[in-house]
Every structure is written in C-alpha cells, then in structure tokens.
Amino acid sequence: MATNTAPQVNRKTVAEVRNCAVSFANKLDPGELLTGTPTVTSTPSGPTISGAAVNTAAKTINGVSVPIGMAVQFKVTGGTVDTDYILKAACGTTSSPAQTLEGFMQLEVRNS
C-alpha cells in the first residue's frame, strides 16, 4: 500500500454504485487548490471509475470538512468479489509552477 494512502476504506458489493472522494487538503501548499480534470485509476484493474472531478462544495471525508477545491470525487461501479483495490487519484494544482499531486485510497469489494 502506498505510504500516502488515505485512512478511509470504502467497501461495496459488485452491484453497488459507490461515490468516493480523496482529500488533498494536507498535501496542498497554502493558497493552492486542485484544478483541471483529475484522473483516477485502479490497481488491480477491474472497477469502472467515472465522473472524476474536483469538489465544488465542501465535502466531509473521514469526519473532516474539506474545503472547495481540495478533494477529488468520483463514482465506482463493478469490481470482483473478495478483491481489494488501491485507487489512485491524480490532479494538477494552481501553484506556480503547477504541481501534479497523487492521493490513494483502498476499495474493498465483498458479497455483502
């Protein structure tokens, strides 16, 4: 598991559609925000990931309110039962020069 993997573990069944989010609040420099269209990939491959976007409203992640522009949100469908996935979200920032930051989270697909 990557050393900067988010503490939350999202769980879903194969049939469920799960909304997920990764906070970058602790990685961004003061005054810096995420920008552009993020990408989200899965290791191993399997689930379908869609709708990746920077948050446009405050979002609570792990009980912490994450301000606008500091998280990546996306939807996950499918996957294989009894498989653990690592999802990697990557996004550019507003810093000068621009940075590309990565955040990781765990997704477990189970029968129920």
Confidence at 9, pLDDT banded by 50, 70, 90 = confident
- The total domain count for the chain is 1
Q: Give per-residue pLDDT as tens, 72-103.
A: 999 999 999 999 999 999 999 999 998 999 99
Section 66-75 average pLDDT: 97
Q: Look over the chain and give the mean of its residue pLDDT values, rounded to a whole number.
A: 93
Whether residue 38 contacts residue 22, with contact meaning beta carbons closer than 8 Å, is answered with no
Residue (of 39, 42, 37) closest to 56 by Cα position: 37
CATH number at residue 84: 2.60.40.10
Sequence length of the chain is 112
Range of 18's domain?
Answer: 5-109
Task: State percent of the chain over pLDDT 70.
Answer: 95
Angle at 43 between CA 37 and CA 45, to 5 degrees: 85
Distance CA 42, CA 105 (A): 10
Task: State percent of the chain over pLDDT 90.
Answer: 88
Distance CA 83, CA 99 (A): 32
Predicted model pTM = 0.91
Say how far residue 24 (Cα) sits from the centre of its chain: 9
